[in-house]
Amino acid sequence: MTAPDRRSLLKALVATLAGLSVGGVSTPEADAAEASESWTTQTLEAFADTLIPGGRRFAGDVAVAGAVTGPGAVQAGVVDLLHSPELPVAPLLAEIAALLDARAVTYAALRLIWLPPTHPPFVGLSFSHRTALVGGLFDPDDLDRPIWQVMSLLVGLAFDTAAQQDTVEALGQGHPGLTWLRFPEPDPDGLWRFPDFSYGRPLAALHPNTTASGSPA
């Protein structure tokens, strides 16, 4: 990938993160099995599943390796997040997936690993090989490292925060990531107040001029 191409990808990824910082985004709805028919989607799912693995969603699921039980990034809606029309990364997903598949072809060729022609190259790798390849993407001297760093952050946001949804709505729908992490329910008015101190005691006295909303005067 050339330097201008990398800059374009990184600009779109950074803009995507900026969009997520202002709240939930709308996402297209699709059945998991139907969505996995796209080679781009399969590759993105396999990448996300390598970082935060989960159980297979249906018989014949090849993108999710089923390395563990329970929900992973794919079940938490990472592909919906990436495909959101409100985020600028969506038009570049095919290019990002193709880049990862190209790395998979090189990885497999150097190790004489046969890749089935019916699946994307990265999906054709076993979970252990996927993990080894993805680990190498974050080497300090890898030219594409910033791309994978931002992509991995998006994967984490989908699972840890349900960034593609309103948090209250996500909890009400039993979002797999938030449920798995035991994310606390809000108060009846939909706000979180956390009355218990994290360390079991206050670390400092409340400033007398603090406003009712908790902001400094």
The model's pLDDT over 88-135, given as tens digits with 9 standing for 90+, comes to 788 889 889 989 999 999 999 999 999 998 899 999 999 999 999 999
pLDDT-derived band at 75 (thresholds 50, 70, 90) equals very high
Amino acid symbol at 33: A
What's the rounded mean pLDDT across residues 158-178?
Answer: 92
Q: How many CA atoms lie within 13 A of 67 on its CB side?
A: 20
Tokens of residue 212, six digits: 């009712």
* pLDDT, tens only, 181-210: 999 999 988 888 877 777 888 888 888 888
Give the model's pLDDT for residue 206.
83
Which pLDDT band holds residue 164 (cuts at 50, 70, 90)?
A: confident
User: How crowded is residue 163: how many other Cβ atoms within 10 Å of its Cβ?
Assistant: 27
Q: What is the pLDDT of residue 89?
A: 82
Residue type, 112: L
Q: Give tens-digit pLDDT for 8-34.
A: 655 555 455 445 444 555 555 445 555
